[in-house]
Amino acid sequence: MATPEPQSSTQPGKALPLLLTPIFLRGVAVRNRIVASPMCQYRSVDGGPTDWHIVHLGRLAMGGAGIVFCEETAVEPRGRKTYECAGIWSKAHVAAYKRVSSFIREQGAVPAMQLGHSGRKASVHGPQQEWAPLTEADAAKGLPPWVGLAPSAIREDEGHHIPRAMELADIRAVATAWRRATALSAEAGFDIIEIHGAHGYLIHQFLSPLTNTRTDAYGGDRAGRMRFALEICEAVREEWPPAKPLFFRISCVDGMGGVWSLEDSIVLAKELKARGVDVVDCSSGGITGSSAMPVLPRTPGYHVPFAARIRREAKMMTCAVGLITEAKQAESILQGGSADLVALARELLWNAEWPVQAARELGVADYLSLLPAGYAHRLRRREEVAALPINANADVDPGQARLIEST
């Protein structure tokens, strides 16, 4: 990891806060350490992005984030959760995604794509319908249910569809789909790919013994259960340009009652690093069971200890996510060596200009430079006018008058 010289400072001779310091990830320069995390929108049509995605993701890029991720994007149609989920499995998707990536880049952010596969989570309605499984009634409306894939034929929850246990041919086909989606993402102009191996999706289903009861080379002990994840990683890294970074999101621990542990994740991270992964994106949850593993309390920065241990023990870069909402909190995570990047999700939905406000709170002199030039110009003018010592009864200098009228 290398960082370029800061372009502005809080005070003369003082470096930028680490949160606002640029970073190089392989050959990609990122303007700061703030990541807009992938957030599913359920607004896609036949997998492809719409105007909603231009506005949603463009807003996050305009707000000053360094990296802006598209939502979890399926590598094949059956890998979606819902009919409205994003996907990139066809050349027909490329032009629409290129509009998205180009706009993000024009705003100074790095466009990033998260690739995933729902596995057994497939064939449901969206979150506003509480993930209700599709039924024959939906089929009559043109939304027929489909059979999801999984390492073992274990359903997500009572009442949900039973997935089909993957045969070796299925494993090869899904790996090929991941490879193709990687090539399409490069063609669509993205500079970072993240493999989604968390939150109970297909890769996580292979990792956890609660959802993987296979007895072949893709099951059994930890090495067997990691095989699928590592083969997907190898396929993506081979297809992805060497100068572009690869992220991998993991659930550092299963959900309440789970089995996959932080120690397992550290071992996995070391293997991922050996296969060319640059950053482990540290999250949690997605698979539950009946073990003694407790629920993870959702307190501010609750994944930071995971990111710190993986960073230290696997000796690789990490990204921390999870209730990071304050500028000083984010800066302390980076200054303390717990992570190299911090990711925000819901906080950016609430306040897309959080990076700009964080820069101001941390004392960056020209914090408005994170905004588009036209925005920054008008806001600087407003600050200049507010600072003028104007008395309502006094004559106004012609230069001051022009400044006031131009704001």
Name 320's bridge partners.
Answer: 282, 342
Give phi and psi for 356, each to the nearest 5.
-65, -45
Task: Determine, yes or no, domain membership for 8.
Answer: no
277 and 134 assigned to the same domain: yes
Dihedral, CA atoms, 87, 88, 89, 93, nearest 10 degrees?
110
351 and 377 assigned to the same domain: no
Give the pLDDT score at 338.
Answer: 98
Count of the separate structural domains present in the chain: 2
Q: Are 320 and 304 in contact (CB under 8 A)?
A: yes
272 and 394 assigned to the same domain: no
Q: How far apart are CA 248 and CA 276, in angstroms?
A: 10
Task: Determine, yes or no, domain membership for 315.
Answer: yes
Tell me the two tokens of residue 238. Answer: 């081979």
**Cβ-based neighbours of 381, under 8 Å, separated by 6 or more:** 403, 406, 407
**Cβ-based neighbours of 109, under 8 Å, separated by 6 or more:** 31, 36, 60, 61, 65, 66, 67, 68
pTM, 2 dp: 0.92
Domain that holds residue 258: 18-367
231-266 pLDDT per residue, tens: 999 999 999 999 999 999 999 999 999 999 999 999
Residues noted as catalytic: 201
Q: How far apart are CA 48 and CA 94, in angstroms?
A: 9
Task: Determine, yes or no, domain membership for 13.
Answer: no
Give the pLDDT score at 193.
Answer: 98
53 and 78 assigned to the same domain: yes
Give the pLDDT score at 388.
Answer: 77
Task: Determine, yes or no, domain membership for 134.
Answer: yes
Give the pLDDT score at 389.
Answer: 75
Strands (E), 219-262: 246-251
218 and 236 assigned to the same domain: yes
187 and 63 assigned to the same domain: yes
Q: How far apart are CA 152 and CA 79, in angstroms?
A: 16
Give the pLDDT score at 9.
Answer: 42
Tell me the two tokens of residue 384. Answer: 């200049």
Task: Determine, yes or no, domain membership for 334.
Answer: yes
116 and 172 assigned to the same domain: yes
Give phi and psi for 322, each to the nearest 5.
120, 95
Give the pLDDT score at 88.
Answer: 98
Name 2's bridge partners.
Answer: 24
**Cβ-based neighbours of 263, under 8 Å, separated by 6 or more:** none
For the beta carbon of residue 381, count every other beta carbon within 10 angstroms: 14
Q: How far apart are CA 16 and CA 116, in angstroms?
A: 35
235 and 383 assigned to the same domain: no
Task: Determine, yes or no, domain membership for 400.
Answer: yes
23-65 pLDDT per residue, tens: 999 999 999 999 999 999 999 999 999 999 999 999 999 999 9
Residue 269's CATH number: 3.20.20.70
293 and 403 assigned to the same domain: no
379 and 347 assigned to the same domain: no
Per DSSP, 15 falls in state P
- pLDDT per residue of the chain (407 residues) written in tens, 0 to 9: 334 333 334 444 568 999 999 999 999 999 999 999 999 999 999 999 999 999 999 999 999 999 999 999 999 999 999 999 999 999 999 999 999 999 999 999 999 999 999 999 999 999 999 999 999 999 999 999 999 999 999 999 888 999 999 999 999 999 999 999 999 999 999 999 999 999 999 999 999 999 999 999 999 999 999 999 999 999 999 999 999 999 999 999 999 999 999 999 999 999 999 999 999 999 999 999 999 999 999 999 999 999 999 999 999 999 999 999 999 999 999 999 999 999 999 999 999 999 999 999 999 999 999 999 999 999 999 988 887 776 655 555 555 555 445 55
157 and 206 assigned to the same domain: yes
Q: Are 207 and 264 in contact (CB under 8 A)?
A: yes
Task: Determine, yes or no, domain membership for 229.
Answer: yes
- Write the DSSP string, 23-54: EEETTEEESSSEEE--------BTTB--HHHH
53 and 200 assigned to the same domain: yes
CA of 178: how far to CAs of 79, 181, 191, 320, in Å?
Answer: 11, 5, 16, 25
Task: Determine, yes or no, domain membership for 2.
Answer: no
